[in-house]
Amino acid sequence: MSIAGEWGFNPLEDPSQDPAEIAKQAAFEIAVATGIGHHDIALTLGSGWAAVVDLIGKTTEEIPAEEITGFSSSGIPGHLGTIRSVILPNNKRALVIGARTHLYEGRGAQGFVRRVVHSVRTAAASGAKTMVLTHGAGGIRPAWQPGTPVLIKDHLNLTGTTPIEGATFIDMTNVYTPALRDLAKSVDPSLGEGVLAQVPGPQYETPAEVQMLRGLGADMVGMSVALEAMAARQAGMDVLGLSLITNQAAGISPTPLSHKEVLEAGAKAEPRVSALLARILEQI
Ligand code: HPA
């Protein structure tokens, strides 16, 4: 646990502090803990994607996330709660973040969005130029069965908040880097692409809400990624986003949703989609 964390204090909650400076401190602590001063690429592994870490290279260091300034441990089953430094076959370094903070964990607290994107800012401060964001999502396109991986081509940020502070005008035309999407499609030409709607959660949607999202142009719905992708773009990183369809969104399938089934579908698809992502990463 970081010294500040031991006292129950998270500096990200202090509005007078610059979150980019806190991310630099976190990056410094990661460098000390891993012995690696620079990471080239960073990955956030959400539900159904955790197996990627063992397929892409060798983990040389693994740190409980809560030991690093600004991070808190993940209370959500299916999430790792650690930060790893992985050496890739091409000798590049990957920072693998298995500890995602979701917006709903803040119970609506103002400023909590800083915590949600802290891992991305820390990855940027660690030197990473590419951010790979993965998660589980509900599929709105009826053809997408649970277990289908989908490239995120754009998003609708429906969280009602933003990680961008002050009068900072960031272009959002190509949040999900076209060259990375092309590369992913060259590895698997059958990979579908879609627009992700990020909602605040934690409840799943009503069927009426899913129909509304469909009308707005969404192909899948989830409770993470868009805010992180925005922070990554602000930090100048390239972004690759991948959803794993863990369930058909409410009302698309006649059966009610259960978190347990969402996790089970993620776990079942994990070896296959993780292998796919590992093949994509070999090309980056
Ligand atoms: N809705 C929102 N988030 C999700 C879903 C869903 O159906 N499945 C997994 N994450």
Residue 204 CA neighbour count, 13 Å, CB half: 22
Asked if the structure places residue 274 within a domain, the reply is yes
| Minimal-distance CA residue to ligand 1 atom 2 | 222
> Quick check: is 27 in a domain?
yes
Residue 5 maps to a domain: no
List residues near ligand 1 (CB under 6 A).
136-138, 204-205, 221-223, 246-247, 249, 257, 262
Q: Residue 20: inside a domain, yes or no?
A: yes
Quote the pTM value.
Answer: 0.92
Residue 2 lies in a domain: no
Summarize pLDDT for 230-266 with one digit per residue, the tens.
999 999 999 999 999 999 999 998 888 888 888 888 8
Write down the mean pLDDT value for the chain. Answer: 90
What confidence tier does 78 reach under pLDDT thresholds 50, 70, 90?
very low
* Dihedral sign, Cα of residue 61, residue 64, residue 68, residue 71: positive
Provide the CATH number for the domain around residue 227.
3.40.50.1580
Residue 9 reports pLDDT greater than 80: no
Provide the pLDDT confidence category of residue 5 given band limits of 50, 70 and 90.
Answer: low
Domain around 260: 11-283
Instruction: List the beta strands (DSSP E) in the chain.
Output: 41-44, 58-64, 82-87, 93-97, 130-139, 148-157, 192-198, 220-222, 238-248
pLDDT band at 166 (very low <50, low <70, confident <90, very high): confident
- Domain contains 236: yes
Within a domain: residue 195?
yes
pLDDT of 4 higher than 60: no
Q: Which of 103, 211, 221, 245 to mutate to test the pocket of ligand 1 (most atoms within 8 A of CB)?
A: 221
Q: Coil, strand or helix: which one is 154?
A: strand
> pLDDT of 28-75, one tens digit each?
999 999 999 999 999 999 888 888 888 899 999 999 888 899 887 655
Is the pLDDT assigned to residue 268 strictly greater than 80?
A: yes
Minimum-distance ligand 1 atom for the alpha carbon of 199: 2
Decide if pLDDT at 137 tops 90. yes
Q: Is residue 263 part of a domain?
A: yes
Close Cβ partners of 103 (under 8 Å, ≥ 6 residues apart): 112, 113, 116, 159, 161, 200, 201, 223, 224, 227
Query: How many domains does the chain divide into?
Result: 1
User: 123 alpha carbon to ligand 1 midpoint, in Å?
Assistant: 26
